[in-house]
Chains A and B, each alone.
Chain A
């Protein structure tokens, strides 16, 4: 008996992904094309990041993708000295939240940006890249 194919594309996201199957798996295809995407509800126009498959305003599941472009403002950040299981090889790394106006994006600061160059409110942009272990991700660079 043939095994049923499982669309587990999302397990390529981040150093360790804890999710295989999601209805926004196309997010991964866009990362492969170098694009960071959010979702917009076609019915009410609300933008969501992280992207989602369903809208609680309209109760519709008719979403379109939009690309996260331009500069946002650094809301806050923290440089980690310790890491949870599975992330030790990435140390040291810095997590951050960037405000793009209509939505915010959580992620990591790019390794090329030294931590003493960071300042709350500075302009940053999101860039699609690979993790050390060859997974897909995005990071924030100076804009």
Chain B
């Protein structure tokens, strides 16, 4: 069986407001990945452009981005699965390469969110849920995840302090990530200040510090066939496992709210394809759009038994020095969450870790890494396993 490798990774800085247009933002991630791969545009056979629609005015962004990046006349495709768009893009790129249709495929994820007010962007995000039967109640992303937190707390006794501990960890690494949007430390004491940005209520039981920040950003991953990867790169990282799943969009269709079925199902597929188990994972990036999402991810990925996710963060086993380091780049909570770019940024972090190029956040000698990327509220799930060999 021939392998599929990653030969270049890049991302823009994730910022509150990008002072430029969508195509210019896309160029930033693209440039870093091209320099990383040390190839020119002629080496790219196709592009998959990934974002969530309606945050900016450009329709069909693949066309304008392919032109700006000098990727005509190669085919370009557009992939969308809300916050998991660029993991969907990676899966498509893998399939295009594995099928032999193309040898080298670029996955370009981006999002500009700053053109909208916070309430407007909550309305857009809310419309990523069931617009006919849920949105008329005034739903928004934090409230959906808050319902998961409430259910997790009721079933397993998880506490507000457990949730806050996830944010404290993310904010430990935020200052080390020069690409991140939130570079400050956060303390447990800040969660006690109910008038403050961190401790103030958003959607019970979630507080400001439990939520990731909107950001503008782009990411770029270059995928190649085994032959091309070996020919073009001295340090390819291999895609060992891919899992994906979907769930009913309406919460009424869900069996449980204390976990995400799509994450569990995607993980099982990815572990099976890679021939590994949760115990083999040396470093992971999980979709911590909210603190509760990271605790559910621990359990859904098998890093902790059901109900023991909170114990894992309490014991600090997911810090850089711990048994299973998770989101040591700051995660979505501190690095920021420019929807369509997020999955590619998670892949980039794990690739750098596996190459031993992660700098201050480098974990000790990892061989196998995992990326967990969720679209909507557990609507689309992707788990990707990467390895050095």
Q: What residues of chain A have their CB less than 8 Å away from a CB belonging to chain B?
A: 10, 13-19, 22, 49-50, 75-88, 90, 93-97, 103-108, 115, 119-121, 135, 137
Contacts and interface: CB of A to CB of B under 8 A. Distances in A.
Contacts of B204: 78-79, 81, 94, 115
A103 B252 contact: yes
Closest 5 CB pairs of A and B: A14-B136, A87-B138, A120-B154, A78-B146, A84-B123
B96 interface: no
A27 B316 CA distance: 51
Contact of A82 (B122, B137, B155, B251): B122
B304 interface: no
B150 to A, nearest CB: 5
B138 A81 contact: no
Nearest to B122: A84
Interface in B86-122: 117-120, 122
B108 to A, nearest CB: 29
Contact of B140 (A14, A83, A96): A83
Contacts of A19: 131-132
Contacts of A76: 147-148, 150-151, 154, 257
Contact of A80 (B120, B143, B254): B143
Contacts of A121: 154
B331 interface: no
Nearest to A75: B257
A81 B197 CA distance: 13
A106 B134 contact: yes
A15 B139 CA distance: 11
B276 interface: no
Given A85-B123, A88-B119, A104-B251, A80 B131 contact: no
Given A19-B132, A80-B143, A95 B137 contact: yes
Contacts of A78: 143-144, 146-147, 150, 203-206
Contact of A83 (B117, B131, B138, B253): B138
Nearest to A90: B138
B159 interface: no
A95 B377 CA distance: 15
Nearest to B141: A84
A103 B250 CA distance: 12
B133 A50 contact: yes
Interface in B120-168: 120, 122-123, 125-127, 130-140, 142-144, 146-148, 150-151, 154-155
Given A76-B151, A77-B147, 17 more contacts: A14-B136, A16-B138, A75-B257, A78-B143, A78-B150, A79-B201, A79-B204, A80-B202, A82-B122, A82-B140, A84-B125, A84-B140, A85-B122, A90-B138, A106-B137, A120-B150, A120-B151
Contacts of B136: 13-18, 135, 137
A37 B150 CA distance: 28
14 contacts: A14-B137, A19-B132, A22-B132, A81-B203, A82-B140, A83-B122, A84-B119, A84-B139, A85-B123, A94-B204, A104-B252, A108-B137, A135-B136, A137-B137
Nearest to A83: B138
Nearest to A121: B154
Given A19-B131, A82-B202, A84-B138, A50 B147 contact: no
